[in-house]
Amino acid sequence: MSLFVPAKPVVIILGMFLAISVFVKPLSAQNVASDCGAPPPVCAWVQNTVGIKTPNMIASGTMIAPHLILTNRHVVEDHALIMVRTTSGDIRRARPVPHDVPVDLVILRLEDAAEKQGIPETLTLDMATGTKQILRVVAFDQGRNQTRAYNPSSYAIFPNLGVNPQARIHSDAKALPGNSGGAVVDEAGKLVGILAAGDGDISEIIPISHLPALLKSSSNEAGMDHAEAFFAQGKAIRDCADLLYDARLVVREPSADLQQTFEAACLAAKNKMLFDQAGQKYGQWWMFAKSEMFLLKSLRLDPNSPNTLMSLAVTYHLNREMEKEKPILARYLDINPQNAQALRLAVQVAGFLKDKAFAERALGLMAVHNPAAVPMAQSYIDSAFAKE
C-alpha cells in the first residue's frame, strides 16, 4: 500500500489503450446478496469472494472454480497452508499452487477438494475488448467481518500490456486494508482484475488477462517443477515485508547489516508494491540513490503508476534534483492534475529551474483545482523569476 494520497480523483483516460479483459462468470446465481448496494451482477460476486488468513495478514480471495481461489502472491508469501472463510462462515484450508509467471497472483486449491479436481489449463472464459470506467471492488471487509461490494470508481486507467506486460489498472475504485485479492468487476459483473493494493483513493488492479498463463503454469504437472523457486521468492516477500514493518522504528542512519538484509530481501521479492515501499523507506532515510533505484525498478514494470511517480518526484525533490523531477511531475500531472501536493511541487520546481512554461502549466491547473493556493504560489513564482 502506498503512502501517497491524492486530493480528489479525476476522470481521465491516458490515450485510448486497447485492453483485453478476460472475465469469469460468478460460480452460482443462488443466494445472491441482492441488497449489497450494487447492481445484481456485481452482488453475485459477494457469494464468490472469501476471507483469507495467514500467520501474517487477513486478506481476500476470489473463487474462479468450486475448488480454486485466486488471490495475491504477496498475501500468500511462503506459507504452505492458508485458512479460508467462505461467505457462509465455513472455515476451510487451501494450499497455494506454485507457478513461474511474473505476476502478483497465485491460485489456491481447497485442501478437501476431490483429487480429480486439479488445476485445469483453461477455464470457460468470456473475452472482451475495450475499457470499463466504472469498476467495483468486491472483497472481505475486516471491520464488518463479511464480504461486501464497495463504491464504484469514476475512472480507470488501463495499461498497454503488449508494451508493459506487468503494468496494472489504476482506478479510484474504493478499497480498504484486507481487500487485497478481492474481485474487481464492472457493472455487468464481468471480472476485470484482482485488487493488488490501495490506499483509499487509488487502487492498483492486476488485469485478469494473466489468468490463462497462470492456469497453465499452475497445472498439476508444471506446478511442482516451480515449487522451490516459488517458495524461495515467497520467503523473500515475507522477509521484505517484515523488515519494512520493523524499519518503521528506524528514523535515520540504519545499520549496515539492516541495509544489506533489507535490500537483498526486497530485490529478491520481485514485487512492485514492495519496490515502491522500499523506495519510500530509503527516501525517508535520506538515502536517495537507493530510493531512486527501487522506484525506477517499479516504474519500469508500470510506467504510469501514480503512486510510484509521486514517490519518485518526492525523492528527487528532497535531493534537489529538480531536472530529474520535472519530467516525472509532468507525467504525474497528465494522470492526476488536481493533486495538491503535485501542484505545490511543480510550482517549486518551475521556480527553481526558471521554467516559465512549466510555471504557467502548474498555476493554470492550480487555478482550476485549488484556487485558494494560487496567490501564494504566484508570489513564489514572481519572486523566483525576479531574481533572473
Flag whether pLDDT at 116 surpasses 70. no
Flag whether pLDDT at 124 surpasses 70. no
265 and 300 assigned to the same domain: yes
195 and 264 assigned to the same domain: no
Q: Assign 306 to helix, strand or coil.
A: helix
pLDDT band at 93 (very low <50, low <70, confident <90, very high): very high
211 and 318 assigned to the same domain: no
204 and 257 assigned to the same domain: no
Q: What mean pLDDT, rounded, does the chain reach?
A: 86
Number of structural domains (the chain) is 2
Return the ∠ at Cα 293 (arms to 292 and 299), rounded to 5°: 80
Q: What is the pLDDT of residue 36?
A: 83
Question: Does residue 25 lie in a domain region?
Answer: yes
Flag whether pLDDT at 336 surpasses 70. yes
Question: Does residue 382 lie in a domain region?
Answer: yes
Q: From residue 297, how far is each of 191, 277, 312, 336 by CA, in Å? A: 28, 12, 11, 22
| CB of 194 closer than 8 Å to CB of 105 | yes
211 and 253 assigned to the same domain: no
Q: What's the pTM?
A: 0.86
The pLDDT tens digits for 259-318 are 999 999 999 999 999 999 999 999 999 999 999 999 999 999 999 999 999 999 999 999
Cα Dmax for the chain:
77
Flag whether pLDDT at 216 surpasses 50. yes
C-alpha cell at 49: 469472494
Please give the sequence-ordered ranges of beta strands (E in DSSP) within 180-264, or none if there are none.
183-186, 191-198, 203-207
352 and 275 assigned to the same domain: yes
Residue 202 belongs to what domain range?
20-215
